[in-house]
């Protein structure tokens, strides 16, 4: 089976293409999850290159320090890598560990979210189902490279491994468990389950629950699949991949249980405020929104002039009015009192102005009267238009 093709001196390997396709598919799903939760999906596109680079570096480092048994038999050991660092860069010769890839990607996500002031657990939740999709697609690169296969079997879905890719001691065995296929199907199922949980129990989940669900699902699947693997990664006689999956899965399960028991009250207060209370983040957001809303707003010049003119008018008129002539706002007027007040204001404005404004000329009285009483008395000699 061909493992790639050449474009001039450049060799394009199908394994690399599948990794890229898996990353794109995972990013699409992560962006979709972010959008469903009301977040900016473009952030996923922005962080993707960093997560991908960090993930590949982490996956390669994991392989360097946990080579498989077949690699060790061929002299490809950690000691050999450290003595010849250039060999670490030759990823086309195989050797990427998914646990290291997840660790590298998580570290990059921590740095990215801290720099952008985002919530790490929230974005880890968005990425988790997409990560499983990426792993499901990427595992098919193992099929092309004829690696990551299981024990010999006669099952109808067994795959044939070419003699040059068979592990020592199994040179004459043709059929094996398609371990890559099992993991691909399980990770695909895990992605669908996490999406379903997110939709079904969104109101009961805390930020980070979906990511811990990913850790539990993948580590459990990988732990049991390691029993079928012919080519484990031994470190001091221990299958480091299987052991690390067991530890991660148990810890993730314990943390998830604690989050919904002992830690539930504090998490609920932080993420789901009740009784009208708002979290600190919500309050700061409201304050920021108000600042943005009122930033640059100044009262118009016409409004300022009107307010100043009104204040000046009040200063001129109020001292001239007797206190007993101003009805108390708290007192209710009878119908008779309302009629009396109305007559005193509307029928005798000229007498009032002469009494309280004696210094005004007769020519100024009509102007003052119109401004403060609204209409002229019937006995005014001025012509009407």
Q: Domains of the chain: which residue ranges?
A: 4-282, 318-385
pLDDT at 30: 96
pLDDT at 334: 61
Provide mean pLDDT across the span 45-52: 94
Provide mean pLDDT across the span 37-46: 94
Mapped to the 3 state alphabet, what secondary structure does 1-37 carry?
CCCEEEECCEEEEHHHHHHHHHHHHHHHHHHHHHHHC
Two tokens, residue 96: 């990427």
- The C-alpha atoms of residue 333 and residue 342 are separated, in whole angstroms, by 12
Q: Which residues contact 268 (CB under 8 A, 6 or more apart)?
A: 206, 274
- The C-alpha atoms of residue 310 and residue 326 are separated, in whole angstroms, by 18
Kindly report, residue by residue over 338-368, the tens digit of the pLDDT: 665 555 554 455 565 566 656 555 555 566 5
pLDDT at 153: 94
pLDDT above 90: percentage of residues in the chain = 46
Kindly report, residue by residue over 71-120, the tens digit of the pLDDT: 887 778 888 888 888 888 887 666 888 999 999 999 999 999 999 999 99
Q: Which of 185-189, 227-231, 313-317 has the lowest mean pLDDT?
A: 313-317
Q: What mean pLDDT is reported for the chain?
A: 81
- The C-alpha atoms of residue 18 and residue 135 are separated, in whole angstroms, by 10
Q: Which of 159-168, 211-220, 222-231, 372-381 has the lowest mean pLDDT?
A: 372-381
Query: Is the CB of residue 139 less than 8 Å from the CB of residue 184?
Result: yes
Query: Which of 6-15, 125-134, 138-147, 341-350: highest mean pLDDT?
Result: 125-134
Compare 337 and 237 and report the one with higher pLDDT. 237
DSSP state of 229: B
pLDDT at 356: 60
Q: For 189, phi and psi rounded to 5 degrees? A: -65, -40
Residue 381, number of CB atoms within 10 A of its CB: 6
Instruction: Tell which phi-psi region holds residue 301, choosing left (phi > 0), alpha (psi between -120 and 50) or beta.
Output: alpha
Query: Is the CB of residue 142 less than 8 Å from the CB of residue 148?
Result: yes
pLDDT above 70: percentage of residues in the chain = 69
Band of pLDDT at residue 287, cut at 50, 70 and 90? very low
DSSP state of 175: E
Query: Is the CB of residue 183 less than 8 Å from the CB of residue 226?
Result: no
Provide mean pLDDT across the span 370-383: 53
Provide mean pLDDT across the span 122-135: 96
Residue 28, number of CB atoms within 10 A of its CB: 15
């Amino acid at each position: 089976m061909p493992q790639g093709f050449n474009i001039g001196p450049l060799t394009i390997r199908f394994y690399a293409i599948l990794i890229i396709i898996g990353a794109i598919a995972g990013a699409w799903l992560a962006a979709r999850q972010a959008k469903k939760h009301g977040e900016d999906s473009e952030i996923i596109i922005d962080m993707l290159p960093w997560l991908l680079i960090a993930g590949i570096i982490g996956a390669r480092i994991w392989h360097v320090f946990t080579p498989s048994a077949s690699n060790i038999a061929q002299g490809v050991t950690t000691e050999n890598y450290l003595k010849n660092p250039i060999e670490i860069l030759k990823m086309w010769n195989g050797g990427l560990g998914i646990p290291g890839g997840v660790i590298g990607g998580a570290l990059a996500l921590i740095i990215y979210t801290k720099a952008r002031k985002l919530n790490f657990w929230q974005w880890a939740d968005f990425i988790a189902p997409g990560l499983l999709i990426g792993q499901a697609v990427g595992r098919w690169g193992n099929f092309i490279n004829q690696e990551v296969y299981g024990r010999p079997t006669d099952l109808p879905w067994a795959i044939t491994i070419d003699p040059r890719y068979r592990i020592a001691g199994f040179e004459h065995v043709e059929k094996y468990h398609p371990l890559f296929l099992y993991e691909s199907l399980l990770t695909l199922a895990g992605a669908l389950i996490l999406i379903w949980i997110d939709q079904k129990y969104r109101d009961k989940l805390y930020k980070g629950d979906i990511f811990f669900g990913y850790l539990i699902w993948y580590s459990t699947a990988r732990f049991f699949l390691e029993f079928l693997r012919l080519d484990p990664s031994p470190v001091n006689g221990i299958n480091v991949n299987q052991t690390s999956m067991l530890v991660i899965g148990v810890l993730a399960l314990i943390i998830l249980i604690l989050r919904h028991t002992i830690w539930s009250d504090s998490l609920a207060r932080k993420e789901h405020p009740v009784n009208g209370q708002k979290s600190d983040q919500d309050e700061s957001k409201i304050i920021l929104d108000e600042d943005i809303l009122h930033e640059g707003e100044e009262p118009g010049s016409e409004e300022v002039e009107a307010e100043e003119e009104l204040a000046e008018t009040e200063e001129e008129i109020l001292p001239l009015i007797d206190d007993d002539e101003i009805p108390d706002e708290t007192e209710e007027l009878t119908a008779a009192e309302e009629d009396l007040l109305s007559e005193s204001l509307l029928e005798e404005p000229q007498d009032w102005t002469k009494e309280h404004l004696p210094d005004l000329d007769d020519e100024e009285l009509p102007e003052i009267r119109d401004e403060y009483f609204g209409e002229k008395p019937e006995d005014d000699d001025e012509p009407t238009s």
